[in-house]
Amino acid sequence: MNANKVLVLTEQFTNASALFDPLREAGYRVEVNETGRLPDEKTLRQMLAEGVVATIAGGEPYTAEVIADARDLKIIARWGVGYDKVDVAAATRAGIPLAMAFGQNHESVAEYAHAMALSLACGIGRRDAMVKSGRWTFDGFHPGLWGRVAGLIGLGRIGAAMARRLIGQGMQVLVHDPFLSESQAREAGVTKVELDALLERADVISVHAPSTPATRHLLDDAAFAAMKPGAIVINTSRGPLIDEAALGRALASGHLGGAGLDVFEVEPLPGSSPLRDFDNVILSPHVSGMDAMAETRVTARCVDNILAWLEGDPRELEPYVVNPETLKESQS
C-alpha cells in the first residue's frame, strides 16, 4: 500500500475544508475526523497502523505504544501549542518530529482569558440571567478590574499577550515565572515576584504555564487559602495545573470571587463535577485558542510543517519542533 494518508484528528473540521487543499494538491489523501470527539489510545493505534504519514493532532494520546504501532508515521503536526499528550521521547526515538504551531493563536487565548476575567469581575453572567428571568434590580457594586492587581503564572507568548491587555486597562501586573529575567520583566512592563507574593496580592490570577510534573496542582488548597478574599482565577492553559476539588472547596466557602475555566483535568468535564453548580464560574470546552483568525493561521502552520518535512526543506521546521534531534538526523 502506498503510504500517503494525512489524518486531521482535531475535532473542529470537516473533509469539506479547503484549508487542507495544499496537502491534497501535493498528492496526499486527507481524512478528517468528523466524529466531534478525539480518538482514545486504542482507536488511535488502529487508525495509525498503516498508510498514515502525518497527523494534524488534537489532544489525542500519542503514547509510546501508539508511536511504536504507527509504522508509516513521519511527523506529528500539533494543532496548538501544548504537547503533554505526546510521549516526546518515544517520538524522538522513532525519528518523528513533533511540530507545533507556535506564535499562531496566542492572541486568541489571551483574548479569551481576558474576556473571562472581565465577565466575572463585572458580574455579566449573573446580570444577564437576572434580566432574562424578568428581574431588574441593583445587585451590588461589582469589583471590576481597572486599577486593581493582576497575577500571571507564566509569561510566554500567551501570558505576554494577556499582560498587554491588563496593562492597557490600567492594572498592575505581577508575574511568577522562573524563566523570566528582571530585564524581560521590565521590558514587558510587569513585576516579577515569587508565587506566594502573587497569590497574596492579586485580585485576578490567570494561569499560563505548561503542564509538567512540577506544575501539577500548582493551585491547591494552600494556594487558594493564600489568595485574597474575592480573588478570581482563570485557567486557559492546562487542566492539571489546578486541583479542581480544592477549587470547588474554595468556591463553596465563599473565599473566591469566581473562576473561568477552559481546560480541565478530565475532558470532557464529567457531568458529576461540582464546578457546574456555581453561578460565579464560567466553563467552556477547551476552545480559547480557536477564533477565526487562529483557524486559518494554526492550520496553515500545520500544513506547512508537514509539507516542509515530507516535500521541502526540513530546516523550515526549526522554530516549531520540540524534538530538534529528529531534524539533525535527517540532515546527517
The C-alpha atoms of residue 31 and residue 73 are separated, in whole angstroms, by 15
Catalytic-role residue among 106, 114, 208, 238: 238
Closest of 99, 145, 95, 113 to residue 235, by C-alpha: 113
Catalytic-role residue among 267, 311, 318, 325: 267
Catalytic-role residue among 111, 286, 295, 301: 286
Per the annotation, the verdict on 267 as an active-site residue is yes
Contact 323, 88 (CB under 8 A): yes
If you search the block for the grid coordinates 464529567, which residue do you land on?
A: 270
Contact 293, 109 (CB under 8 A): no
Per the annotation, the verdict on 329 as an active-site residue is no
For the chain, the three-class secondary structure string (H helix, E strand, C coil) is CCCCEEEECCCCCCCCCHHHHHHHHCCCEEEECCCCCCCCHHHHHHHCCCCEEEEEECCCCECHHHHHHCCCCCEEEECCCCCCCECHHHHHHCCCCEECCCCCCHHHHHHHHHHHHHHHHCCHHHHHHHHHCCCCCCCCCCCCCCCCEEEEECCCHHHHHHHHHHHHCCCEEEEECCCCCHHHHHHHCCEECCHHHHHHHCCEEEECCCCCCCCCCCECHHHHHHCCCCCEEEECCCHHHECHHHHHHHHHCCCCCEEEECCCCCCCCCCCCHHHHCCCEEECCCCCCCCHHHHHHHHHHHHHHHHHHHCCCHHHHCCCECCCHHHHHHHC
Per the annotation, the verdict on 295 as an active-site residue is no
Would you name the residues annotated as active-site residues? Answer: 238, 267, 286
